[in-house]
Amino acid sequence: MPKRTLMVLTALFFLCPLGGALAHEDVRKHPNCKYCGMDREKFAHSRMLLLYDDGTSVGTCSIHCVAVDLALNVDKMPRSIQVGDYNSKKLVDAEKAYWVIGGSKPGVMTKKAKWAFERKEDAEKFIQENSGTLGTFDDAMRATYESIYEDIKMIREKKKTMQGHGKGHHP
């Protein structure tokens, strides 16, 4: 094996694990959702990161929990709102992402799913396979706030059912 090829392979060996670690740096800082406690690595495809002008940051599992944070912090100005690309799980600008609202794939913390894609083609392909409507971040936030009461009722019912199972009871 030529020396140059060996050097390239060695560099790739050491850089690949680092690349994966850097991709989810936000998960190390905020491993669990501030509001529901869900594992943000497990939900990397829907996780969100809010950076406020005052330097604080909040990591959530989904747009549902971001909506809760934004409502509770109306006195703070978001500097950046990022979301995990559904396919790559890489954080992208939520306001530039292509959002799929609704469809057959179950959402995270919501009855009406909202998924973000960095590329429009990916969102359109997802819609072909799972239905849903292409929208903007504003559309996704509007849909989130419109369904938040029903979503909270659904979450409470799920928690109640899970607690019953934990005690040996069956619904």
SS (H, E, C) 43-103: CCCCCEEEEECCCCEEEECCHHHHHHHHHHCCCCCEEEEEEECCCCCCEEECCCCEEEECC
pLDDT along the chain (171 residues), means of 10: 51 42 80 97 98 98 98 98 99 99 96 98 99 99 97 92 68 45
Whether 62 contacts 48, CB under 8 Å: yes
Give 39's DSSP letter. B
pTM for the model stands at 0.81
Q: What is the pLDDT of residue 24?
A: 81
Q: What is the pLDDT of residue 17?
A: 42
* Of 55, 83, 44, 53, nearest in space to 67 by CA: 83
- Measured distance CA(120)–CA(103) in Å, rounded: 16
- Measured distance CA(92)–CA(76) in Å, rounded: 21
Domain boundaries, the chain: 25-166
Query: Left (φ > 0), alpha (ψ -120 to 50) or beta: where does 148 sit?
Result: alpha
Q: What is the pLDDT of residue 166?
A: 62
